[in-house]
Amino acid sequence: MAEGPEWARLTDQEVVLLARGGREAAYRELVRRYERPVFALLYRMVRDRELAEDLSQETFVKALNAIDSYRPEFKFSSWIFKIANNAAIDHLRRRELDTLSLDGSPHAETPEAMQATALQIGARQESPLDAVQARELGGAIEAAIGRLRPEYRSCILLRHVEGRAYEEIAEILDLPLGTVKTYIHRARNELRLALAHLRE
C-alpha cells in the first residue's frame, strides 16, 4: 500500500467511505485492523482454530459485502463484533442441537433406529492443529473461559480482552446495559471460583 492515504491516520469511518468508493486497499485496511480481534474473539468462543477462521472469514465477507448498509454514526468495531458474535452464537446453538442428537434421532421409535441414527465417536488421533490449539487454549484461565455460558463468554471477552466499554458491549450484543453488567459480574465470579484453587 505505497500509494494512497496514510491509513494509520484515518478513522474507521473514513476508511469505510473510501471502501464505498470502490477502493480495494480500503477493504484490505479494514481486514488488517480487525482480523486479529475478530479471530481472537471467535477462537475463544468456539475453541476450534479452523472453525474460528471460517467464521472470521464469513464475518468479514458479510460485513464488507454489506458495507453500503453500515451506518457511520455507529462504531465500525461494534458492527463487525456484532456480526462475529452472531456467527459464533449461531454456530454454538447449532452445535448444541447436534450434541443433543448424539444418542440418536429424537424421532427414532425403536432401539435399532436410535442406534442407527446415533453419532459414532471413534478414537481420534491428535492432529498438529489440535496440538497448537491445546497449547494456545491450554491455560487455566482459557479453560475456565471455555466453561462459561456463551453469553457470559462474549461479555467477558469483549470487556476484559478487547477492552470495550459497557455501552459498546450492550450495543454489540443487543442487550440492556444492566444485563451486560450483571453478565460480566457473574462471569468474573465464575472465573474467580474456577481459579480459586490456584490462589491457595
b/e 4-20 (16+ beta carbons within 10 angstroms → b): eeebeebebeebbebbe
Locus of grid cell 471413534: 122
CB of 64 to another protein, least distance (A): 5
> Cell digits for 88?
459464533
36 or 93: CB nearest another protein:
36
Asked whether 88 and 55 are in contact (CB, 8 A), the reply is yes
> Cell digits for 177?
446495559
CB of 95 to another protein, least distance (A): 21
51 or 118: CB nearest another protein:
51
Q: Alpha-carbon distance 87 to 64, whole Å?
A: 15
CB of 126 to another protein, least distance (A): 19
75 or 160: CB nearest another protein:
160
Locus of grid cell 471467535: 42
Where on the chain is the footprint of another protein (CB under 8 A)?
19-22, 24, 27-28, 31-32, 35-37, 39-40, 43-44, 52-53, 56-57, 60-61, 64-65, 67-69, 71-73, 136, 141-142, 156-157, 160-161, 163, 181-182, 185, 188, 191-192, 195-196, 199
